[in-house]
Structure 1
Amino acid sequence: MIVIVRGRATPEQVDQMLKALGIYIKMAVDVEREVLAGGGELHADCELVLLDDGSEQKNVWGADWYPTNQSVGFESIINIRPSANNRSMQIQDLELRQKIEKIIRSFLEGVKIQWE
């Protein structure tokens, strides 16, 4: 189940997002609206949810959240964007990575999950 998170996530939201993959959450983050969608099997699924919610594709980037060690990953097929000077699955721009990490951490860091 893909969940849109617009602020601090509840433990229930995190558990719902973890149902797809179990140990980590694939997500798409809108860096302009500061909203994320997480819980799909593909980053592209999360991206579509954000686009349907009003996000612009140029502002949406793929990332992962690993709750057991509270870390963020920045690798996704949706991040390959030659037009944005990002020719890799990994987000290349350090400032953009920091903005994405700040959003994810403010929403998810420290949220307890049921199976912990």
Structure 2
Amino acid sequence: MTLTLETTDLKVRLRLTDAWFTVCDLSTLLPGRGVAALLPDGSQVAVFTDRTGRLYAIDNRDPFTGAAVLSRGLTGTHQGHPFVASPLLKQRFDLESGQCLEDEAVRVTTYEVKAA
């Protein structure tokens, strides 16, 4: 039996202010794994997809350590909400809102994201 992988030319795009910015090929993303990308202003974004194909994009910088590592974090769900846990101090950030689940005073930036 021969398996063939369906290829796609869809790109992952983020809304930055009033324009869409291409981050990577959709095929680059694996469910549960993050990808870091450099933005035009020099900051970084962490992009994720889940098993249903939903896309998420948040600031890659961990606000507790200042390190650009959130794309390397472990993903999961808490009370029905997807999150990524920082690989350093393990704080969890809601992938939809950016809210830190351990400290409600802390939040990371989220981005509107789509595949087109």
With the length of structure 2 as denominator, give the TM-score of the two structures: 0.37
| Higher RCO by CA contacts (8 Å cutoff, separation 6 or greater) | 1
The structure with the largest strand share of the pair is 2
Task: Flag the structure with larger Rg.
Answer: 2
With the length of structure 1 as denominator, give the TM-score of the two structures: 0.37
The structure with the largest helix share of the pair is 1
